Homo-oligomer: A and B are copies of this chain.
């Protein structure tokens, strides 16, 4: 935990330069536009500790794996999100002395992430070792209007000297990934141009042949006058730069506007890359920095219209929730159905930037409720498109049919190499099935089931069918050798969550089959043929549903996380000496595994996803048992506990759990924000407010709320997109007000009472 940022409703502010905070700030102040993103590295040279990061969505590298002992079925590579061309770089040399904050005395420093308008700015005054003092102001953004474009304004003003200023904007592809398994560089140069009219660099990945081309243009101003000065071109392998020399005097501001277009072979044909990049950057230069920034602010205003949450009476919570929403919107825009949401988004290298079950289990509700339908639909189609790889994955592991989606993926292939995760954490398959239910339930778009949904559901069901086995001992089907969501257990038998989500998949698949048979017989007939559905398998699914084994503790009235869980020492988290926490930093792995401590919601995850099947009393008993055993050492855990706590009326607990997620990165709660931000868990924060405090659900096509408000909040408001209605809800201690911007009359259920309204609805609570 390290709280050094200034609280502000629309901005993240750092007001002093402390080099030991730099990596954390680089993560927190990251920019992204769904197409590309970057850590908040400095434009000018910085020789201090820094994790350089410029990322192009979907451009990855299949790095040769590093495992202790190879297991059959392991993938050959671990995909890494690639640190790509450093296009922000502007070296500043003052009378031969390089501007470098690592060696300067920095008197004034302020870094601001403006979330309302989507830009990063920085202002500082620094004294160089020679005693020369400069004022610097920089502002940059990644356009959400023209995704390929990044623009930078960078100005230098001497305070106490006159002299020569060398300004060198550059493009540098000679970059590394810190997490490279074998210290290899992943890029090679294809071509570069460094002429008087164009500076451009094209590189490609050594494997998979992703091409990235960046082209820059820039203008330099003094006294609001554009300077036309000759430049010195510098080129070396994977690097192009132009240097301009200007004279500077005290208080004379020199401003450079640098425009860069970044294009990739993912979106454009190889032969047009250079041309398109130039075209894009030329247009940007013509529009100019200020115009582009206005476009940016306007576009962000529209995003906020759909997704903002306003909290009155708690500025820190206000900043946090906006930060989470801002980062989610920077990470994924849903326009490209080949993309997904990496756990760190564009804020770091960790977790390979790949797709995890986080997307379906935590992120989908956010995009469903804050963006148009097709955004969430594209997240589902992403998995549909990867079905063949998921089938191949199941085959590779020895299954004769069915699909096992990977734990971690870039292109549908598994790229994670720990057997206890890769092979055993198969509950992910259930989350992917459940996302189909979630989407259809929220949007009402049942056409999805015939078009894509059933195909995925059937193949997942086939996997579950083969993955269980019949135990003669128990006279039941069992599910052996799994890892549940609680990764502090590995290779356990009959993990309740996994068995439950498996059976639920079978049930839902049968339900969808019945639905399509009746409502869309032609489509069903076609699917039936394509999928080769067999009577025996459908009967087998029914038999598994009826005869699946679920461990239950009669005495406690709880579902058992897995066989043998009650054999563990049951000391509660609160009774541990606090020096043990977090256990993942203080305990050996085997001690963790033997303990009863739960990393993240496991049985409770099931009760959250499938809450309609359980009574409040059941949820309460399980919550009362498992919450005191949960250490929440995954960022994905507290939100589920918060939502369940809200549901069973534990308001204080709901708020406490909310606090653990909301400022996770801003306060560097787990001391790991230097690696990047916890993007996917940010959706969990959003869920805590909307599904937790406001109690939003969609039941039988109706939007329902059971709202409450944390004690010291005055009120909170949020926007929801629901089936072509744009709603704004405001909840305070006494009432809920719902106003509607779009759409016809709508029925809504508040605390179990149904109301119809067209424009505005006010209900006393």
Contact = CB atoms under 8 A, between A and B. Distances in A.
Interface of A: 65-69, 71-74, 78, 182-183, 396-398, 416-420, 423-424, 469-474, 478, 480-481, 490-493, 563-564, 566-570, 584-594
Nearest to A421: B69
Given A480-B564, A491-B490, A568-B469, A72 B474 contact: no
B68 A566 contact: no
Contact of A564 (B418, B493, B587, B594): B493
A481 B590 CA distance: 7
Contact of A182 (B182, B424, B587): B182
Contact of A397 (B423, B474, B478, B588): B588
Given A182-B182, A567-B480, A587 B66 contact: no
B491 A491 contact: yes
Nearest to A587: B398
A585 B72 contact: yes
Given A397-B590, A423-B589, A563-B563, A68 B491 contact: no
A269 to B, nearest CB: 37
A474 B594 contact: no
Nearest to A480: B594
A594 B423 CA distance: 11
A465 to B, nearest CB: 14
A50 to B, nearest CB: 23
Given A66-B67, A419-B590, A591-B398, A567 B72 contact: no
Quickly give the copy total for this chain: 2
B587 A72 contact: yes
A564 B67 CA distance: 29
Max chain B C-beta neighbours (<10 A), residue from A473, A563, A587, A589: A589
A567 B474 contact: yes
19 contacts: A67-B68, A68-B416, A72-B589, A73-B588, A182-B182, A398-B588, A419-B593, A423-B589, A469-B594, A472-B566, A472-B570, A473-B566, A478-B567, A491-B491, A491-B492, A493-B564, A493-B567, A563-B563, A564-B564
Contacts of A563: 563-564
A71 B418 CA distance: 12
A418 B590 contact: no
Contacts of A570: 472
B72 A68 contact: no
A68 B418 contact: yes
Given A74-B589, A182-B183, 11 more contacts: A65-B68, A68-B416, A72-B587, A72-B588, A396-B588, A398-B587, A471-B566, A472-B566, A473-B566, A473-B567, A491-B491
Contact of A480 (B74, B398, B474, B568): B568
Contacts of A566: 471-473
A648 to B, nearest CB: 26
Contact of A69 (B398, B418, B472, B592): B418
B469 A73 contact: no
Nearest to A489: B491
Contacts of A480: 564, 567-568, 594
Contact of A588 (B183, B420, B423, B564): B423
A71 to B, nearest CB: 4
A416 B71 CA distance: 16
Max chain B C-beta neighbours (<10 A), residue from A74, A473, A481: A481
A594 B417 contact: no
Max chain B C-beta neighbours (<10 A), residue from A68, A78, A396: A68
